[in-house]
Amino acid sequence: MNRNFLFATILAAIGCNFLIISCHRMGDNEKSAAQESAREAAVPDTTVNPYENASVEIKTFQNDSAYGGFGYDVYINNTMYVHQPNIPAVPGNKGFVTEEKAKRAGELVSYKIKHNIMPPSVTPKELDSLGVLN
C-alpha cells in the first residue's frame, strides 16, 4: 500500500507539472497575440484616414510655475485634440526648455495625426532625434 501511494503521488506531481507548463505556454501565446495586436495598432490604418484633409494646428504656450517651460496644444478643425504641458514619454512633469522645442514635438504629433498613426504617441527616442529633450 505504501508503494502504491508513492506511485500515485509521483504521477500526480508529474500531472501537476505538465498542467503548469501547459498553462504557462498558453500565457506566452496570449502575450504574443497581445504584443502583435499592439504593434498593429501603431501602424497607420490605410483604409480610411479621417484626418487627411483636416486642419491640424499647433499652438505653443508658456507653462505656469507648476511645470515650467513650454507646452503645446494640437487643434484639429479648430477643436483642441491634445493638451501637452509637459514633455511626453519621459518621467517627470517638466515642460520643454524652449518654445521651439515644444513646437517641434507638437509637429511630430501633428504629422502622426495627419498620417492616421493613432494614437499619436511619441517615444523618448523620437524626441531625442528631434533634439527636444535637453
Domain membership of residue 116 (yes or no) is yes
Instruction: Please state, for a pLDDT cut of 70, what percent of the chain lies above it.
Output: 66
Question: Does residue 63 share a domain with residue 6?
Answer: no
Cα–Cα distance list, 50 to 44, 63, 77, 115, 119 (Å): 12, 31, 11, 9, 13
C-alpha–C-alpha distance, residues 60 and 43, integer Å:
27
Looking at residues 74-91, what average pLDDT do you find? 96
Instruction: Look at 35-39, 49-53, 68-72, 99-103 and tell me which has the smallest mean pLDDT.
Output: 35-39
- Enclosing domain of residue 63: 56-130
In angstroms, the CA 82 to CA 103 distance is 13
Residues 62 and 54 sit within 8 Å (Cβ to Cβ): no
pLDDT tier at 19 (50, 70, 90 boundaries)? Answer: very low
**DSSP H helical segments within the chain, as ranges?**
2-41, 99-114, 124-130
Give domain status of residue 23, yes or no. yes
Q: Counting Cβ atoms within 10 Å, is residue 116 exposed (0-12), middle (13-18) or buried (19+)?
A: middle
Q: Are residues 70 and 36 in the same domain?
A: no
* Single-letter amino acid code for the residue at 69: G
Same domain, 107 and 62: yes
Residue 49 in domain: no
Question: Per-residue pLDDT tens for 124-134?
Answer: 999 999 999 97
- Tens-digit pLDDT profile for residues 84-125: 999 999 999 999 999 999 999 999 999 999 999 999 999 999
Q: Is 63 in the same domain as 120?
A: yes
- Same domain flag for 126 and 62: yes
Task: Please report the DSSP string for 26-60 in residue order.
Answer: HHHHHHHHHHHHHHHHTS---S--TTTTS-EEEEE
Residue 49 has pLDDT above 70, yes or no: yes
Better-scored residue on pLDDT, 29 or 78:
78
The pair phi, psi for residue 81, each rounded to 5°, is: -110, -40
* Domain count across the chain: 2
The mean pLDDT value for 22-40 works out to 53
For residue 78, the Cα-to-chain-centroid distance in whole angstroms is: 25
